[in-house]
Amino acid sequence: MKFTMIYGPSGIGKESVGRELAKRNGWHVFPQHLAFDVACAVIGFGNDGFEAYQRKICLDAFRTLFENNVKGVVFTFCYVHPFSNYFIEGLLEFLGESGINANFIRLTCDYEEHVKRVTNTGRHNTNKIQSIEYLDDYLKRFDFSVDIPNVETLHIDTTTMSIEASAKDIERSIVT
């Protein structure tokens, strides 16, 4: 199974690029927000056990996909150092136990483009960030400029790239 994690802050285009990459390669997409939403509904964000439950949901999904011999998975994730390291430790353990060589890609874009993406009408009727005020607060509270420790990360600035071009750039760069 191929495993590609695309990470960066909310609204940067991870899921859109991930869906295009998955479509081009016949892979599955698993956005982190699915596990986040379930963990919010069951445990409540910020409550004891939230992170452990969200991690369990993701790792159980990855194990099931692996056991079902799927061709590949694109996982989109908001990595926040050091808060996400508990999740990353579990992910790296799973990948190692399963013999999966993963690819890690961090997407960025300039602030003006990030604002355009977050306020795009396509994000309406979702639980995703949709306003400049929320984005600014989010970017002040969390540092998204740190790479995941102990893994090689490909950096792609998608400011001027289409979703398709971003997916193609990842495709050309990932270890197959």
- Distance, CA of 75 to CA of 162 (rounded, Å): 19
**Counts for the chain of helices (H) and strands (E), in that order:** 7, 5
- Distance, CA of 104 to CA of 29 (rounded, Å): 15
pLDDT digits (tens, 9 = 90+) for 117-159: 988 877 666 667 788 888 888 899 888 999 999 999 999 999 9
pLDDT digits (tens, 9 = 90+) for 45-55: 889 999 999 99
Collect all residues with Cβ–Cβ distance below 8 Å to 8 and sequence separation of at least 6: 14, 78, 79, 106, 107, 108, 144
**Ranges 57-66, 75-84, 129-138: which has the least confidence:** 129-138
Q: Is 170 exposed, middle or buried (0-12, 13-18, 19+ CB in 10 A)?
A: buried
